[in-house]
Amino acid sequence: MRLSSINENKEILTEIISKIAALENPKHEQVASIISKRPDITGNLFSKKDILQAYREIKNEINLDSESEKKFLQRVKIRKVRTISGVTPVTVLTKPYNCPGNCIYCPSEEGFPKSYLSSEPGAQRALANKFHPYLQVFNRLVAYKNIGHPTDKVELIVLGGTWSYYTKEYQRWFILNCFKAMNDYNGQTEPIDVEKYEDKEKEVSWEEVFNEQKINETKQSRCVGMSLETRPDYVSKEEVQRMRKLGATKVQIGVQSLSNKILRMNKRGHTVRKTEEAFNLLRIAGFKIQAHFMPNLYGSSPKKDIKNFKKLFNKRFRPDELKIYPCSLIEGTDLMNLRKKNLWEPYSEETLSYVLENLLMLTPRYCRITRVIRDISSDDIVEGNKKTNFRQIVEKSLKEKGLKPKDIRYREIRGEELSIDELALKITAYKTKVSEEIF
Q: For position 238, which CATH number holds?
A: 3.20.20
Q: What are phi and psi of 90, to 5 degrees?
A: -115, 110
Band of pLDDT at residue 415, cut at 50, 70 and 90: low
Q: Residue 366 has what pLDDT?
A: 97
290 in any annotated domain: yes
pLDDT of residue 184: 98
User: Is there a single domain that holds both residue 164 and residue 25?
Assistant: no
CA distances from 90 to 76, 200, 294 (A): 21, 22, 24
pLDDT band at 6 (very low <50, low <70, confident <90, very high): confident
The reported pLDDT for the residue numbered 5 is: 79
Q: Which of 75, 95, 124 is the last residue of a domain?
A: 75
What percent of the chain is predicted at pLDDT more than 90? 67
Q: Do 60 and 93 sit in the same domain of this protein?
A: no
The total of structural domains in the chain comes to 2
Q: Which pLDDT score, from 0 to 100, does residue 147 have? A: 81
Residue 366 belongs to some domain of the structure? yes
Give pLDDT, residue 14.
Answer: 87
Alpha helices (H) in 23-99, listed in sequence order? 28-37, 48-62, 66-75
Q: Would you call 54 exposed, middle or buried from its count of C-beta atoms within 10 A (0-12, 13-18, 19+)?
A: buried
185 vs 150, higher pLDDT: 185
pLDDT higher than 60, residue 1: no
Residue 132 in any domain: the answer is: yes
Residue 433 lies in a domain: no
What confidence category does residue 76 fall into, taking pLDDT thresholds of 50, 70 and 90? confident
Q: Is the pLDDT of residue 163 over 80?
A: yes
Are both 88 and 65 inside the same structural domain?
A: no
Higher pLDDT, 7 or 124: 124
Average pLDDT, the chain: 92
Secondary structure E strands in 268-367: 288-293, 321-324, 329-330
105 and 45 share one domain: no
DSSP letter assigned to residue 149: -
Q: Cα(first)–Cα(last) distance of the chain, in Å? A: 47
32/146 same-domain check: no
The pLDDT-based confidence of 186 (bands split at 50, 70, 90) is: very high
Helix 206-216 vs helix 168-184: crossing angle, to nearest 10: 30
Q: What does the pLDDT average to over 26-34?
A: 79
Residue 199 — very low, low, confident or very high, per pLDDT cuts 50/70/90?
confident
pLDDT band at 78 (very low <50, low <70, confident <90, very high): low
Helix, strand, or coil (residue 230): strand
Decide if pLDDT at 70 tops 80.
Answer: no
pLDDT value, residue 2: 60
53 lies in which domain range? 3-75
Is residue 150 predicted with pLDDT exceeding 60? yes
- Statement to judge: residues 175 and 271 lie in one domain: yes
* Domain identity same for 113 and 204: yes
Query: Does 418 score more than 80 pLDDT?
Result: no
Among 75, 104, 124, residue at a domain's last position: 75
- Domain edge (last residue) among 75, 99, 115: 75
Confidence (pLDDT) at 268: 96
> Could you tell me if 109 and 139 lie in one domain?
yes
Residues 303 and 247 in one domain: yes
pLDDT in tens, 315-353: 999 999 999 999 999 999 999 999 999 999 999 999 999
pLDDT over 90 at 58, yes or no = no
Same-domain check for residues 21 and 96: no
**Would you say residue 219 has pLDDT above 60?**
yes
CB within 8 Å of 227: residues ≥ 6 apart: 155, 156, 157, 158, 248, 249, 250, 251, 252, 290
pLDDT reported for residue 32: 84
Euclidean distance between CA atoms 290 and 158, whole angstroms: 13
Mean pLDDT of all residues in 268-272: 97
Instruction: Tell me: do 27 and 168 sit in the same domain.
Output: no
- H-assigned helices in 101-257: 121-128, 133-146, 168-184, 206-216, 237-246
Whether residue 3 has pLDDT greater than 60: no
pLDDT band at 248 (very low <50, low <70, confident <90, very high): very high
Q: Let me know: does 223 contact 175? Beta carbons within 8 Å.
A: no
Is pLDDT of 47 > 70? yes
**How many Å apart are CA 339 and CA 220, to the nearest integer?**
51
Per-residue pLDDT for 142 more than 70? yes
In a domain, 336, yes or no: yes
Contacts of 356 (CB under 8 A, 6+ apart): 295, 324, 326, 372, 390, 391, 394
Q: Answer whether residue 77 shows pLDDT above 80.
A: no
Give domain status of residue 200, yes or no. yes
Residue-level pLDDT at 193: 94
Q: What is the pTM of this model?
A: 0.84
Is residue 299 one of the residues assigned to a domain? yes
Q: Are residues 66 and 188 in the same domain?
A: no
With 90 as the cut, is the pLDDT of residue 375 above it? Answer: no
Residue 426: inside a domain: no
* Residue 4, pLDDT score: 62
Q: What is the pLDDT, as a whole number, of residue 81?
A: 64
